[in-house]
A and B are shown apart, each in its own frame.
Chain A
Amino acid sequence: MDGGLLEPSLYAIKAIAILDNDGNRLLAKYYDESFPTTKEQKAFEKNLFNKTHRANAEIIMFEGLTCVYKSNVDLFFYVVGSSQENELILASVLNAFYDSISQILRKNVEKRTLLDNMDAVFLAADELCDGGIILEADSNAVVQKVAIKNDDIPLGEQTMAQITSKYGQQVSAATDRVLQSAKDQIKWSLLK
């Protein structure tokens, strides 16, 4: 694995992932062919999770790769690079990843909130890394690019629960209307 110097290249990230506390994938992006199939990817994620979920150690050499990680409540964040990659570069990407998600979730870094904001989470991952190249490593800049101006509700507040309840309200409003018109019809038929 210690094959001398690393070819000068912008491609530094092999994968990023967010797993839950059972080691299940919530988000995973693979940027090269290290794990070509979903099956291999998920096996890697499970093994990595088993190695890391109890030891809060921040960095591990695993399957010939360098993995840096961080966890909070029921979420685990990972950034994976080659074993020859500068570990501090990988750590800077992990911090940007974690901090931007934390800002988007308004510091509620947990599974429930993450899933409620999945759209923003996908967008943040996309602003962080493009095809294995670090696109933005400043969490404030990532959040700024994700949160779009001139929107009536800030993205962070626009939870799935609110969306669902909004549609719920629309449905119940519609039901009310139907009931009302039925009542009206009965009323008119009685009056006739």
Chain B
Amino acid sequence: LNRRMLSLKRDKKEEEDGGANPFNNLEKSTVLQEARTFNETPINPRKCGYILTKVLYIINQGESLGTTEATEAFFAMTKLFQSKDPILRRLVYLGIKEMSKIAQDVIIVTSSLMKDMTGKEDQFRGPAIRALCSVTDHSMLQSIERYMKQAIVDKVPGVSSAALVSALHLGKGSHEVIKRWVNEAQEAVNSDNVMVQFHALGLLYHIRKSDKLAVNKLVSKFSKHTLKSPYAYCLLIRIAAKLIEEEDAGSDSPMFDFIESCLRHKSEMVIYEAAHAIVQLKNTTAKDLAPAVSVLQLFCSSPKPTLRFAAVRTLNKVAIKHPAAVTACNLDLENLITDVNRSIATLAITTLLKTGNESSVDR
């Protein structure tokens, strides 16, 4: 009886769950069967969009598709290009990306995607570029190169960003081709859009990173307050810090001056990145660290848990090599011992164990 009660209970629970989740208990084979609807004409965008969402849902749940079933679904999906429904088109791009690594002959969609990436609908262009680059292999890259270069310098930020980010992904396998896009990337760094600037700087660095002189030039050029994006600033700080380490330079390097100047940036993200970089450098004296430590001390009393966490974690690192430099923060650290976030409290205690004396821990 007890067991029956339990199973009844479970049924009820499942019923409730099923009611709350229309995607619950989807069978892969059933969903893929439904995907054959894509071959029917005329296309019903709502119905096909719902089925495609189910396909994306089961893939997202970790259901693995075999080559044959993925290829079949992929080819059925290509039929949906006939519909001009915007949501359906965007879902097709997602489907292409999800299946591009499993299905066979995926280059079949190349011309459709190239049409969309150069077409009139701006909102399709960025996502189409990203989908296109997911089906493009090394040997095909040259045929789309001209369009990629154009897209990088496009006025629409979503298009430019999509091309820059895709170039970085492609760069993993085809560095030689990506190298030839340096002029376009250089133009895009001057964009007013903060994300485009960030992505362009990332691509520029990736292309030039083996040429130390070029990287040096890159940092000195952009360190003169010409960047708008805080993300780009964070990246530039990391590049500068890497140069300092590679050259075994100390705080007399102009790169160090740049990082130190970022401690006065208006974005907390940039200030923290700079403080973090200074603290991590090898050839620094306690004096070099002082401005970074004061900034971190200030962050310790921030109402934002993430900022307190970041600050105390970095101070914890400083305390390993320069415990004396952190002593000034002991009172702030003591306040963090009772922090509601246990990670912060733990970090504060371990830091105090390195810097403080017994009395401060006792208190």
Instruction: Please name all residues of chain B whose beta carbon is closer than 8 Å to the beta carbon of A134 when the two chains form the complex.
Output: 195, 198, 231
Residue of A nearest to B317 (CB): A2
Check if B235 is an interface residue, CB within 8 A of chain A.
Answer: yes
Is B238 within 8 A of A5, CB to CB? yes
Our pick among A57, A91, A166 for the contact of B343 (Cβ within 8 Å) is A57
For the complex, is A48 an interface residue (Cβ under 8 Å from B)? no
* Contacting residue for B342 out of A55, A145, A150, CB 8 A: A55
Which one of B49, B202, B309 contacts A59 once the chains associate, using CB atoms below 8 Å?
B309
Task: Tell me the complex Cα distance, A41–B340, Å.
Answer: 28
State whether A122 touches B94 (Cβ < 8 A).
yes
User: Which chain A residues lie closer than 8 Å to B91 at the CB level?
Assistant: 119, 122-123
Asked if A111 is at the interface of the complex by the 8 Å CB criterion, the answer is yes
Residue from A61, A90, A131, A166 having most chain B Cβ neighbours under 10 A: A131
Which A residues lie within 8 Å of B273 (CB)?
86, 88
Judge if A148 is at the interface, Cβ distance under 8 Å: yes
Q: Known: A8-B239, A61-B343, A115-B22. Is A88-B268 also a contact (CB below 8 A)?
A: yes
A88 is contacted by which of B20, B165, B235, B310 (Cβ under 8 Å)? B310
Any A CB within 8 A of the CB of B87: yes
Q: What is the distance, in angstroms, from A45's C-beta to the closest C-beta of chain B?
A: 10
- Are B231 and A115 touching (Cβ within 8 A)? no
Tell me the nearest residue of chain A to B229, going by C-beta: A137
Q: Tell me the complex Cα distance, A186–B242, Å.
A: 88
Contact between B94 and A135, CB atoms less than 8 A apart? no
Give chain B residues whose Cβ lies under 8 Å from the Cβ of A133. Answer: 165, 168, 199, 202
B30 at the interface (CB under 8 A from A): no
Interface centre among A29, A134, A150, A158 (most CB of B within 10 A): A134
CA distance A27 to B59 in the complex (A): 10
User: Contact at A87–B57, with CB atoms within 8 Å?
Assistant: no
Chain A's nearest CB lies how many Å from the CB of B211?
14
CA distance A158 to B161 in the complex (A): 29
**A155 interface contact, C-beta 8 A:** yes
Q: Kindly provide the distance from the CB of B288 to the nearest chain A CB, expressed in whole angstroms.
A: 16
Given A38-B64, A122-B94, A126-B94, A59 and B238 contact (CB-CB distance below 8 Å): no
Asked if B161 and A118 make an inter-chain contact with CB atoms under 8 angstroms apart, the answer reads no
B168 near A57 (CB under 8 angstroms)?
A: no
Complex interface: chain A residues within 8 A of B309 (CB)? 59, 87
Q: Is the CB of A151 within 8 A of B62?
A: no
Q: B8 to chain A: which residues have CB within 8 Å?
A: none
Give the CA-CA distance A9 to B273 in the complex, in Å. Answer: 14
Q: Does B298 contact A (CB under 8 A)?
A: no
B residues 289-319 near A (Cβ < 8 Å) are 304-307, 309-310, 313, 317
User: Taking the complex as formed, is B264 at the interface, i.e. its CB lies under 8 A from any CB of chain A?
Assistant: no
Task: Answer yes or no: A6 CB below 8 A from chain B CBs.
Answer: yes
Binary contact track B197-217/A, C-beta < 8 Å → 1, others 0:
011001001100100000000
Chain B contact surface mostly: helix
Number of interface residues of B (CB under 8 A): 67
Are A149 and B94 in contact, with the CB atoms below 8 A? no
Does B329 belong to the interface (CB within 8 Å)?
no
How far apart are the CA atoms of A60 and B347 in the complex, in Å?
11
A92 at the interface (CB under 8 A from B): yes
What separation, in Å, do the CA atoms of A161 and B245 have in the docked complex? 58
Which residues A106-164 have CB closer than 8 A to chain B? 111-112, 115-116, 118-119, 122-123, 126, 130-131, 133-138, 145, 148-151, 155, 158, 160, 163-164
A38 CB to nearest chain B CB (Å): 3
Select which of A4, A9, A27, A138 is within 8 A of B280 by beta carbon: A4
Q: How far is the CA of A151 from the CA of B22 in the complex (A)?
A: 24
Inter-chain contact B235/A28, CB cutoff 8 Å:
no
How far is B48's CA from A167's CA once the two chains are assembled, in angstroms? 12
Q: Are A122 and B56 in contact (CB under 8 A)?
A: yes
Q: CB of A32 within 8 A of chain B?
A: no
Q: Is B79 an interface residue, CB under 8 A from the partner?
A: no
A1-35 vs B, CB cutoff 8 Å, 1 = contact: the mask equals 01011111110000000000000010111000000
User: Closest chain A residue to B310 by CB distance?
Assistant: A87
Complex-state Cα separation, A83 to B20, whole angstroms = 36
CB distance from B45 to the nearest CB of A (A): 10
**A131 with B231, Cβ < 8 A, contacts A4-B280, A57-B343, A119-B87 known:** no
List which A78-97 residues lie within 8 A (CB) of chain B.
86-92
Question: Which residues of B approach A to under 8 Å, CB–CB?
Answer: 20-23, 46-47, 49-50, 52-53, 56-57, 60-62, 64, 86-87, 90-91, 94, 97, 123, 126-127, 130, 158, 161-162, 165-166, 168-169, 195, 198-199, 202, 205-206, 209, 231, 234-235, 238-239, 241-242, 245, 268-269, 272-273, 276-277, 280, 304-307, 309-310, 313, 317, 340-343
Rank and list the top 10 A-B pairs by shortest CB-CB distance, nearest first. Answer: A38-B62, A148-B86, A10-B202, A8-B238, A57-B341, A87-B310, A88-B269, A58-B305, A91-B306, A8-B239
List 5 A-B pairs, Cβ < 8 Å. A8-B209, A55-B341, A58-B306, A134-B198, A160-B22
